[in-house]
Every structure is written in C-alpha cells, then in structure tokens.
Chains A and B, each alone.
Chain A
Amino acid sequence: MTKEIAIAAKNITKNYGEKSALNGLNLSVNRGEIYGLLGHNGAGKTTTVSIFTTLIQPTSGEATINGHDIAKEASQVRNSIGYLPENVQLYEYLSVFENLEYLGKLSGLKNPRNRILEVLDLLEFKSHLHEKVSTFSKGMKQRVGVAQAILHSPEVLFLDEPTSGLDPEGVIQLREIISLLNKELGMTIFMNTHLLSEVTKLCTQIGILKNGKLIYENSLSSTIDSFDETDSLEDIYFKIDGASKP
C-alpha cells in the first residue's frame, strides 16, 4: 500500500538577489510522519518552512501540501497547515484566551471559545486561560504558540526550531506535546532543528539540508541501521554531511 504524501517539494530554488538559499530542493513527507529537517545555520531550513507555509514564494519549482500547490492554491494550503515560528512572542498585554480568540478568528473560527478550551485542555494549560502572556516563561509561551497553531485543526503542522531557547524541562514538555499531536490527532509534523537529540527522540523521518540542497532523506530507523552499530546519530550526521566533527 502506498502512503499518501502530505508535503512535497520538486526542484525548489530560492534566490535572494545573488545569494541562493535553496538550490533544487526535492523532498517528500508521508502523512502521519514527524519529519525532522536538520542542517547547519544558514543551510536553508527556515526558507524551506517559509515556502511551505506560503510566507514566501520560491524562485522556481513546485511545492504541495496535501496535494495543493502552494502558489496556485495558497488558500487551501493555509487552511490545512498550522505554523509555529521561531521565537513567537504573541501579544504580551493580552491573556492566553484573548490571544487565542483573536488568532482563532483570523483562522476562520466564528466562535472559537469551545475550541480554545478543548485545545488548552489537550495541552494541559487550561488553568492559565486568563493570565497575561507577558508573565510567562519561554516554555509557557511556546505552549500557547502550539495552541494557536492547532486551533483550526490543521492536518500538517510546521515548527521552526521549536525547542530553541527552552530550558530542559520546557524541551521535554514540548516534545511530549509534539508526540501527542502526532499520535492522538494524527497530525503530520514538519520541524526544523539543528538539535540531533530532538530528531532522535521525536522524528520518524529525517532530511539533511546542506547549502540549500537535501543531501540525505530516510526514515530514522533505516538511517541508524545503515551505519555502524557503534555510530551515534551525531556520528552519522557528520558522516552524511561530510563535515569533520569538531
């Protein structure tokens, strides 16, 4: 049985003036997977997510989300995705409910109250409903960020460096949430990260991006199986990447 493809990129390029951020990116993610896109800073990870989330247009190539072209069917793409940008601060002077109510309405929910309560219940954050976001830690803000991303029940969730700046406890909590969204709600999750530990603990599929090109793509289990038993994922990453381990 062939699996349905949730996210696909065909020969995507993205140039910023003379500089090329993506250089013929080909990538596909099956429905229900947690895909981890690894790469150094400047490899093109954020550009990739920005293209998939319709924030920017590629210079050339095609990308689809659930079969919808990101350029020609941007509206359908936006309805089926949730997005958590890196370092989202939300509206500091507003409460969790006020933030989510606003973003929920912008996502097309006419009366988001019940859905907000449902999502916060899922994320075990209901007790903070009327607290102002300005009083929250980075980890708590990230939880509200996830809540806004899934309010409109998207099928695909994009996370840009989701654990960036979180303390160890926050990292564990967010990891549990991502896992829950995948297992309980069946969401396809695409995350950018440069943290190998995150990939090992969460992802089912990995891709390695270097200089705007996908140089490796496979399931996590196959990746680990195809290298020496003694290799850690870190060793494997440096072998694929071709860079010497510092």
Chain B
Amino acid sequence: MVFKAAFKHELLSSLRSKSPQLVVTVFLVLTSISSIIGWLTVRNVTKIYNDIVSQNLTKAPNPFTNVPSLYYMRDSVIYVVLIGSLMSIILGAQASLRDRKSNANELIKTRNVNLVHRILGQLSAIASIIVLLEIVALLTSFILIWVIQKTPLNIGAVFSLLGYGAVSAILMIALAAIGFTFGTISKSEESSLLYPIVGWALVTFTIPQIITSIHPVALLNPTPAVSTGTGLAQSVINVISPLAVMENFKAIANAILGVDKSIQLSLVDLLSFSLFAGVGVMASVVISSKSFGRKLDA
C-alpha cells in the first residue's frame, strides 16, 4: 500500500512542480526534433555536395548516400547525455527535497511507514515519467524519420530504436536515483543539486577530456582513435575509462543504433555502464532510507 501511495503521490507532485516541468519540456522538444536536425544536416550537406559536384570539384561519393535510417537519431544521443541527464537529476532531487522543504518528512517519520517501499514507489514513479518521455520522443522520431524517408523503419531498425530507448531510460533512471540521494542527504537545496551536477560534469566532460588528451578521441563528435601504444598513458586510460559513464553510454547507444562506426563498443563499456546503473539505484535506496528525515539547514 505504501509503494502504491508513494508512486501515485510522486507522479502527481512531479508532473505539477514547475522546475521539473521546464526541463521535461526542453528534453522532450529537443529529442523529438533531433530527427529534424539530423535531416536538415543531411539536406544541407547534400546541397553543398551537389554544388561542388556540379562544379566538378570532387568525384567522391556523397558521404550521406546510404546512411543508415537511424542516422537521424545521432543527435538524440547527445541530448540524452546533456539535457536528459540534468532533467533526471533535477526530477530525483526535487522528489526528496519536496518532503524536506514541506516538513512532511517529520510527519512521515511519526508513521509506521516502510521507508524502502516508499522510496521504491517514488523512484518507480520517476522511472515511469522517464520511460513515458522516452516513448513519446521515440514515437515522434519514428514518425519524423518515416516522413523524411517517405518509408517506415524496418523491423530491425524499430528494435534498435527500442533498444536505444531502453538504454537511455536506464541511464536517466540511475541519474534520477543519484539526484534523489543527494536531495535526501545534502544540507541545503542548492547543494543537493550542485553536487550531482558537478559529478555529472566531471563524468561527462573532465574524464573524457583527460582520456582525449592522452588518447585523442573527440568528445562529442568522435573520430577514429589513434593508438598511443602501451605504457603509462594507456594505464591511465584503462583506470579512468570505466568512470566515463557518458562515453560508455554513447558507445552502447551508437552500437545499438549503428550510426557511428568510429565508436567501438567494448566489454568494459557494457560492464561499467551496467555497474553504474545498478549500483546507482541500489545505493540510492539504501542511503536514502537510512538518511530519511534529515532537516535542511535554515
């Protein structure tokens, strides 16, 4: 009963709160129109290519001839890493902060409430919102690609799209759980958002930047990796690569969508991503239930 009540309560509260509404809208709009952006890119490059060909400046084939149908989803991966991650952290943090700001956590602590069930109810509601957003974004992409290509995606591409949606949702649910934890344990509302966002920035930008410096691979527009051989540099990469969760996600997403042959999927990517998601959610439930009821600093 507690799980169900918390689930319903969280759905209502999250969907009515203004700050989550804003990031949810931005995420939905960007991921939904990512196919249009991809299509515009192809159209513009093709137009320039045709001009160059008409001037006999090249005989090379159009780089966009025979691009896979899911090529148009390429930008969507970046939006999940950037906007989707922030949206999830905010959704999670706001969920636990709501109890603390309203003093409702004091009321709840004076009831016989199974806190683990309650937290699972809240996280499940946030997960449902994320899954729903992914479904809307993917459905929009499916329709837009159909319109752009004048033919629907084949069954294989549909499965790839669904697989990509599932991996994106897992990443965002894990980040929401981390946001939820910081919303429970931080001393102030500001720090509960600041800490996970700083952590996200480290994982998204700093660690890949270190890897890029050692082992030149572009961050958001990957190019084929240049081997630097073995030695200290490679050892550093081996140690910090699993921490670059967003790079791991991008590798998995690209492998599923099949849009970027330059990114190689490794077992380390899969393992570290799975570990991040699993440990993130489990740690959130344990830490949040143990720390429930902490007051915010006045």
What residues make up the interface of A, taking CB atoms closer than 8 Å to B? 53-55, 75, 78-79, 81, 83, 85, 87-94, 98, 101-103, 105-108, 110, 148
Chain A interface mostly helix, strand, loop or mixed? loop
CB interface residues, B 1-30, toward A, < 8 Å: 1-2, 4-5, 8-9, 12-13, 16-17
6 closest Cβ pairs, A-B complex: A105-B5, A93-B16, A89-B102, A102-B9, A85-B106, A83-B110
- Choose one: B4, B13, B111, B118; the contact of A91 (CB below 8 Å): B13
Pairwise interchain contact A103-B103, C-beta atoms closer than 8 A: no
Known: A102-B5, A106-B2. A55 touches B106 (CB 8 A): yes
Quick one: given A79-B112, A93-B16, are A103 and B107 in contact (CB under 8 Å)? yes
Q: For the complex, is B275 an interface residue (Cβ under 8 Å from A)? A: no
Q: B52 at the A/B interface (Cβ < 8 Å)?
A: no
Q: Are A78 and B112 in contact (CB under 8 A)?
A: yes
A82, B280: Cα distance in complex, Å: 35
Known A-B contacts A83-B107, A105-B5; the reply to A92 vs B113 at CB < 8 A is no
Q: Could you tell me if B110 and A88 are in contact, using CB atoms closer than 8 angstroms? A: no
Interface size on B, residues (CB 8 A): 25
A91-B98 CB under 8 A given contacts A75-B112, A108-B112: yes
Residues of chain B at the chain A interface (Cβ within 8 Å): 1-2, 4-5, 8-9, 12-13, 16-17, 98, 101-104, 106-113, 118, 293
CB neighbours (8 Å) of B98 from chain A are 91
B184 to chain A, nearest CB (A): 16
Q: Could you say which residues of chain A place their CB within 8 Å of the CB of B103?
A: 85, 87-89
Chain B: minimal CB distance from A81 (Å): 7
Q: Is the CB of A94 within 8 A of B110?
A: no
Q: Smallest distance from the beta carbon of A54 to chain B beta carbons, Å?
A: 6
B5 touches A55 (CB 8 A): no
Given A78-B110, A78-B112, A91–B1 Cβ distance below 8 Å? no
Q: Is the pair A54, B109 in contact by a Cβ cutoff of 8 Å?
A: yes
User: Would you list 12 pairs from A and B whose C-beta atoms are within 8 A, ordered by A residue?
Assistant: A54-B110, A83-B107, A83-B110, A88-B107, A89-B104, A91-B9, A91-B13, A92-B102, A94-B13, A106-B111, A108-B111, A108-B112
Q: Are B13 and A85 in contact (CB under 8 A)?
A: no
Give me 14 other A-B pairs in contact (C-beta within 8 A), A85-B106, A102-B5, A105-B5 excluded: A78-B110, A78-B111, A83-B106, A87-B103, A88-B102, A89-B102, A91-B98, A91-B104, A93-B12, A94-B12, A101-B5, A103-B108, A105-B2, A106-B111
A83 to B8, CA, bound (A): 24
Residue among B102, B107, B109 having the largest count of chain A Cβ atoms under 10 Å: B107
